[in-house]
Amino acid sequence: MPTVRAALWRALPVILLLALYWPGVTTWFYQDDFGWLNLRHDVHGTHDLAAALFAPKAHGNMRPLGENAYWLGISTVFGADPLPFHIAAFLTQAASLLLLGAIVRRLTASDLSAAIAQVVWIANIGLAPALGWSSIYNQILSAFFFLLAFYFLLRRQLTAQWIAFLLGLGALEINVVYPAIAAAYALLYDRPLFKKTLPMFAVSALAVFAHFHFAPPPAAGVYAPRVDARIFDTIWTYWRWSLGPMPLALVILLTAAALLIAARQRLALLALAWFALPLLPYLPLPDHKMDYYLAVPAIGIALLAAAGFQHARIPASVCILLYLGASLPASYTITRWQHARGERVEDLVLGVQEIHQSAPDKIILLDGIDTDLFWSGVADLPFRALSIPRVYLSPAPATRIDAAPELLSKYTLPIALARNAVLYRFDGRQLHRSALPNFPQDEPRFVNLADDTFRDYIGAGWQLAPGGYRTMSGAATVRIAAPRTAADVLYIGVFETRDVHLAARANGIELPLTLAHRDNDLSEFRATLPPAALAWKQMEITLTGPRVPLTFGYLEVR
């Protein structure tokens, strides 16, 4: 019977996890998922594999285990099937729950306290997004390595702790704070262990240096670090979110209870360290506060609940019930919302796949795409992820999409090519064939060099490269529309982030060329067009560069 009871204590939290987040198991891909699914299309050899695994991705982050290996490995074996990704996420989270239970049992000698900690973590709104959106699996894997390393620390298996710590650095950059959590435990519970945590601080410092060296933070945008007074507002926001959507009065009450317990119990102090330390890397991002950043810090809320229950059962039980009453419905709402969002994307993308299978040579134009569907189901190239070429937005859409014109132009087929396409309107569930409007004759203002649809506008000097891209060694030409106004400028996108010498001429006239923008894998150059170009109907752009191959993405006049 003791063995059966122990098995039940361990199984019930995992059953609750599956019951609460079951919709996440069947949520389809959306948004960033497609960018990661496309990773496998960029690997054509050993050199590409190394870049795919270790080169900075997604806003400059380096997460070889939490993103690159996870997406590349599963998609290579199972293709664009979301179920294996969700199974991996749920199994990882189940293992983390078991680790959390084992840790709390060791700290409190109580099965009930361990179960309370597990339930509190399951209910937290920071965990809910990660169990339905595969793109943030890194949060789940990060928590697993945090807990695994700490579990080995409690058992004094220090070599195993080091292995888990080092692996965690490949899951998510916030794992650099693990040594501080280990040091906090040592100071509170086991002083002789403290000196053994110090070498890990050196490794974390080295990891931070390497990250900023190979992936420097952006100078502008929501991911640009800002250390100012807004940090205090950010801390308070995350603390409120971690307690669930409840009135301010109850937030203040629970905060006071947490501080009271922390003043009297070392487990509560450790819990606050577990909450605060993993949040530190996110605090300099006041314009990018996300609920899923709480997936790891929420472990601290779980430990705090266990500490409160150990200290004063009845008051703590009331606080825990208040928390669960706010958090459980909110977490279920999040997972249902994610499922509904993925369902719309699934209807659109698989509908396009059916059309492509029946008419593989046709250019497909899409209409009826609203703003949310554009960002969740078009912007991150889902059709490339499923190997469906030549899918564009209609140049005369019936609905307006709230996105920058210079971004939308890259997803919209130029009018000059639209006359050869088929048009489908999406009603929210299905695609319906529609008649093409009477598109006027016009030269394209955008040329996608990676799409053979634009072959009539791609001149001499180009070589095909893996993945459908085109490279240039020396010189090559492209035909494109002339400017309509004196403010129009020519933009050239090149998949190269090193400094290269690039020159451009329009109908034989030299163009002054400057770097307009550079991100993780693309440099966009800006060329001022001569006044005489306003009298032209089209331009032949001659590009000249180094003899080593350069991979180009697009040319655009805007």
Judged against a pLDDT cut of 70, whether residue 2 lies above it is answered with no
Q: Do 145 and 74 share a structural domain?
A: yes
**Mean pLDDT taken over the chain:** 92
* pLDDT, mean of residues 1-15: 77
Q: Which two tokens stand for residue 48?
A: 């590409």
* Phi and psi, residue 412, nearest 5°: -105, 130
Residue 516 class from Cβ within 10 Å (0-12 exposed, 13-18 middle, 19+ buried)?
middle
Three-state DSSP class for residue 224: coil
Q: Are residues 289 and 363 in the same domain?
A: no
Confidence grade of residue 419 (pLDDT, cut at 50, 70, 90):
confident
Q: Is residue 11 part of a domain?
A: yes
Find out whether 364 and 378 touch, Cβ atoms under 8 Å. Answer: no
* DSSP for 449-515, written as a single string: TT-GGGGGGB-TTEEE-GGG-EEESSEEEEEEEPPSSTT-EEEEEES--S----EEEETTEEE-EEE
- The residue-averaged pLDDT of 212-229 equals 82
Burial bucket for residue 477 (CB in 10 Å: 0-12, 13-18, 19+): middle
Q: Which amino acid is at 419?
A: R
Angle between helix axes 70-78 and 82-108 (nearest 10 degrees) is 140
CA distance 23 to 478: 48
> CA 277, CA 298: separation in Å to the nearest integer?
11
Please tell me whether residues 168 and 260 are part of one structural domain. yes
Query: Which residues lie closer than 8 Å to 378 by C-beta, 6 or more apart?
Result: 348, 366, 369, 393, 411
Strand ranges in 238-284 using DSSP code E only, listed in sequence order:
none
Instruction: Cite the beta strand spans of 75-226 per DSSP E.
Output: none
Alpha carbons 87 and 117: distance in angstroms, whole number: 23
Q: Is the pLDDT of residue 439 over 80?
A: no
Domain boundary, last residue among 309, 339, 369: 339
The answer to whether residues 124 and 172 touch, using CB atoms and an 8 Å cutoff, is: no
Average pLDDT over residues 388-398: 88
Q: How far is CA 199 from the centre of its chain?
A: 31
Q: Span 314-320, mean pLDDT?
A: 92
Look at residue 59 in the predicted model and tell me its pLDDT: 67
Q: Please determine, for residue 346, whether its predicted confidence score (pLDDT) is greater than 70.
A: yes
**More confident site: 140 or 57:** 140
E strand segments, 43-177: none
Same domain for 454 and 306: no
Q: Residue 347 falls within a domain, yes or no?
A: no
| Beta bridge partners of residue 526, listed in sequence order | 491, 514
Question: Is the pLDDT score of 489 beyond 80?
Answer: yes
Confidence class for position 411, pLDDT limits 50, 70, 90: very high
CATH number at residue 461: 2.60.120.260
| Residue 333: predicted pLDDT | 96
User: Which single residue is written with the structure tokens 């001149």?
Assistant: 459
pLDDT at residue number 42: 85
Please give the angle made by the CA atoms of 84, 85 and 87, to the nearest 5 degrees: 60
Alpha helices in 280-358 (DSSP H): 298-311, 313-358
Q: Is residue 38 part of a domain?
A: yes
Least confident of 54-63, 152-161, 323-332, 341-350: 54-63
- Domain assignment present for residue 346? The answer is no
List, in order, residues 6 or more apart from 52 with CB less than 8 Å away: 39, 42, 43, 68, 72
Taking the C-alpha atoms of residue 40 and residue 62, their distance in angstroms, rounded to an integer, is 17
Model confidence at 465, in pLDDT bands (50, 70, 90)? confident
Q: How far apart are CA 372 and CA 289, in angstroms?
A: 20
Q: 282 and 363: one domain?
A: no
pLDDT digit string, tens, across residues 71-130: 999 999 999 999 999 999 999 999 999 999 999 999 999 999 999 999 999 999 999 999
Residue showing tokens 């190269």 = 496
pLDDT at site 133: 96
**How many residues does this entry show for the chain?**
558
pLDDT of residue 9: 72
Decide if 379 is inside a domain.
yes
DSSP strand pairing (509-511 vs 550-557): unpaired
Kindly state the average pLDDT of the residues 353-365: 94
Q: Does residue 441 register a pLDDT over 80? A: no
Last residue of a domain, one of 388, 413, 434: 434
Q: Do residues 12 and 115 touch, judged by C-beta distance below 8 A?
A: yes
Domain range holding 414? 359-434
Distances from the Cα of 430 to the Cαs of 158, 214, 516, in angstroms?
56, 45, 40
Q: Taking a C-beta distance cutoff of 8 angstroms, is the pair 44, 467 a contact? A: yes
Listed range (46-55, 302-311, 527-536) with the worst mean pLDDT: 46-55
pLDDT at 132: 93
Q: Are strands 550-557 and 431-434 parallel, antiparallel or unpaired?
A: unpaired
Are 558 and 529 in contact by the 8 Å Cβ rule? The answer is no
Residue 58 lies in a domain: yes
The total number of structural domains in the chain stands at 3
| Structure confidence at residue 222 as a pLDDT band (50, 70, 90) | confident
In a shared domain, residues 380 and 463: no
Could you count the other beta carbons within 10 Å of the beta carbon of residue 76?
11
Beta-carbon contacts of residue 181 (< 8 Å; ≥ 6 apart): 146, 150, 273, 274, 277
What span, in angstroms and rounded, lies between the C-alpha atoms of 269 and 184? 9
C-alpha span between 136 and 33 (Å, rounded): 9
Find tokens 């080092």 and name the residue. Answer: 166
Mean pLDDT of 423-452: 90
pLDDT, residue 266, reads 93
Q: Identify whether 270 is part of a domain.
A: yes
* Planar angle of CA 113, 114, 120, nearest 5 degrees: 85
- Mean pLDDT for 516-536 is 90
Work out the percent of the chain whose per-residue pLDDT is above 90: 78
Q: What's the whole-number mean pLDDT along residues 433-439?
A: 87
Domain match, 120 and 75 both: yes
Q: What sections of 38-81 are H helices per DSSP?
A: 46-54, 70-78
Residues 181 and 239 in one domain: yes
Q: 42 or 339: which carries more pLDDT confidence?
A: 339
Does position 184 have pLDDT exceeding 90, yes or no? yes
User: Do 452 and 425 share a structural domain?
Assistant: no
Looking at the structure, do residues 128 and 237 belong to the same domain, yes or no? Answer: yes
Residue 349 lies in a domain: no
Determine what percent of the chain is predicted with pLDDT higher than 70. 99
Lowest-confidence pick of 35-49, 64-78, 139-153, 348-362: 35-49
Same domain for 171 and 142? yes
Q: Which amino acid is at 479?
A: R
Are residue 58 and residue 140 in the same domain, yes or no?
A: yes
Of 393, 408, 434, the domain-final residue: 434
d(CA 339, CA 131): 11
Residue 1's pLDDT is 60
Other Cβ atoms closer than 10 A to 33: 26
Confidence of residue 443 (pLDDT cuts 50, 70, 90): confident
